[in-house]
């Protein structure tokens, strides 16, 4: 990827005179188990690719010149932060010396979001679309979530390309999940288009079951060596595979037909298709245990449900395990049904049980636990996110890419495709595994050329 030159760096805070938008009296937000589990992982990095604004594509001529566009995005970001006071804050860590424990909360002190204006004078839109290496298009790289006691919780990098712009947004994963991430991104684009208020106000009150002691104390010290342990992932390569709505429909139909059911969803079917293909290409022994880890969204699973606008993490992780031999021998429908059974079992009781169990025995997710070994797949994000309506005032994005955090062999990131009903699957695998996957007839028959 071409050289990226940093033009300017600053901190952007919320404006202070927007009386209609700023949530009142919010200075501190406690963190839930869903938030705290991510302390040892890296932040979320996702970015959108746009062609350069043209006069005929915008109602705002100030967006056409480079400097005006950067200033406009900076101003609209500041206004948007009025609705999301936690994003421009910092973490605070409180040590409980008597039992060597620490608790965290979000200090809504408006210390600011990092804002970088950059230029890549030799980089084109088509280069980014044909590549998945985007590390230089994001800020706050190599920052673990717990480090944001002193570092910004969020960062924006606007990179000018030869024929476009890339807007990279970095958000501390302890602040929120993918639903919250895109809620903010969408809201920022609304303000950029000229809206005075956003269409969906965030719900900032965190979810805690009754009779739970707050804050949650974690048995560690801020200078604990395990906080700074680095996971050396083996060298992997990336590629984005596109699946059309029709192709996904065929995979879903086959999975349900094989098991004589109608309950297997599109997502469960194509994840099973991918899981089997990667396992086949890894050439594992038949008795080797293989694992797929899937995100379970909890907003709609609680009773009463958490609002979709809940701004925070509302998820846990569940694994489906079997042997490589069983997975490949039993077919697509069987694999999809194993995933389906696990998902169906995630009811209100299971969600609350996992939440409370975590409080009793806190387990911080590490990269090694997710990516260690060549037998795992870890699924991130979802094709249900609202991405392609994120219009800043000069047209919809033409592509989405993620940064390098939390990646390793077996990391799969799901995005909606530009065409409704389609899906883009960003795959991280060892070089030899990816090459085998590209030559796997059964897998590639379902892949659609854009």
Active site residues: 173, 391
CB 234: neighbour CB atoms within 10 A?
10
| SS3 call for 292 | strand
Rg value, the chain, Cα? 22
Cβ atoms of 159 and 165 within 8 Å: the answer is yes
* CA–CA dist 137, 170 (Å, integer): 10
* CA–CA dist 290, 328 (Å, integer): 11
| SS3 call for 126 | helix
Q: Cα 155 vs. chain centroid, distance in angstroms?
A: 14
Exposure string over 135-163, b if 16+ CB within 10 A, otherwise e: ebbbbbeebbbbbbeebbbbbbbbbbbee
Q: Cα 400 vs. chain centroid, distance in angstroms?
A: 12
The position carrying tokens 């600011």 is 112
Angle between helices 431-438 and 266-282 (to 10 degrees): 120
Give residues with Cβ within 8 angstroms of 144, minimum separation 6.
39, 40, 41, 42, 227
Burial of 168 (0-12, 13-18, 19+ CB in 10 A): buried
* CA–CA dist 270, 274 (Å, integer): 6
Cβ atoms of 107 and 87 within 8 Å: the answer is no
* CA–CA dist 396, 209 (Å, integer): 40
* CA–CA dist 208, 313 (Å, integer): 12
* CA–CA dist 366, 41 (Å, integer): 6
Cβ atoms of 447 and 241 within 8 Å: the answer is yes
* CA–CA dist 304, 40 (Å, integer): 31
Cβ atoms of 368 and 168 within 8 Å: the answer is no
Angle between helices 331-344 and 245-259 (to 10 degrees): 90
Q: Cα 314 vs. chain centroid, distance in angstroms?
A: 13
């Amino acid at each position: 990827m071409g050289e990226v030159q940093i033009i300017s760096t600053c901190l952007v805070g919320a404006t202070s005179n927007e009386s209609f938008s700023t949530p009142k009296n919010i200075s501190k937000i406690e963190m839930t188990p869903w938030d705290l589990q991510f302390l040892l992982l890296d932040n979320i990095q996702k970015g959108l690719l746009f062609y350069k604004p043209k006069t005929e594509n915008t109602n705002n001529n100030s967006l056409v010149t480079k400097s005006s566009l950067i200033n406009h995005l900076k101003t609209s970001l500041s206004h948007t932060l009025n609705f999301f006071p936690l994003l421009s804050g910092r973490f605070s860590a409180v040590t409980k010396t008597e039992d060597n424990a620490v608790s965290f909360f979000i200090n809504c002190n408006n210390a600011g979001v990092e804002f970088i204006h950059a230029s890549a004078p030799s980089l084109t839109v088509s280069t980014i679309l044909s590549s998945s290496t985007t590390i230089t298009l994001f800020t706050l790289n190599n920052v673990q979530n717990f480090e944001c006691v002193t570092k910004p919780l969020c960062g924006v990098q606007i990179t000018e390309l030869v024929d476009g712009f890339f807007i990279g947004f970095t958000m501390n994963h302890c602040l929120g999940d993918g639903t919250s991430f895109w809620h903010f991104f969408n809201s920022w684009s609304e303000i950029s288009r000229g809206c005075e208020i956003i269409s969906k106000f965030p719900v900032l009150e965190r979810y805690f079951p009754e009779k739970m002691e707050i804050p949650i104390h974690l048995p560690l010290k801020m200078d604990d060596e395990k906080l700074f342990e680095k996971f050396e992932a083996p060298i992997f390569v990336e590629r984005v595979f596109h699946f059309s709505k029709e192709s996904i429909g065929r995979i879903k139909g086959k999975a349900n037909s094989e098991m004589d059911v109608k309950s297997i969803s599109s997502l469960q079917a194509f994840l099973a298709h991918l899981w089997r293909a990667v396992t086949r290409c890894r050439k594992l022994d038949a008795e080797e245990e293989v694992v797929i880890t899937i995100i379970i969204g909890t907003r709609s699973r609680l009773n009463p449900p958490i609002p979709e606008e809940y701004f925070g993490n509302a998820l846990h992780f569940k694994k489906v395990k079997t042997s490589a031999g069983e997975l490949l021998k039993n077919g697509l429908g069987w694999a999809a049904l194993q995933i389906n059974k696990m998902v169906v079992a995630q009811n209100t009781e299971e969600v609350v049980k996992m939440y409370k169990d975590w409080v009793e025995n806190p387990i911080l997710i590490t990269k090694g636990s997710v990516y260690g070994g060549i037998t795992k797949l870890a699924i991130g994000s979802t094709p249900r996110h609202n991405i392609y309506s994120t219009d800043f005032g000069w047209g919809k994005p033409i592509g989405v890419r993620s940064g390098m955090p939390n990646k390793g062999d077996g990391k799969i990131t799901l995005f909606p495709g530009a065409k409704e009903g389609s899906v883009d699957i960003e795959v991280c695998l060892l070089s030899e595994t990816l090459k085998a996957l590209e030559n796997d007839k059964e897998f590639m028959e379902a892949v659609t050329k854009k």
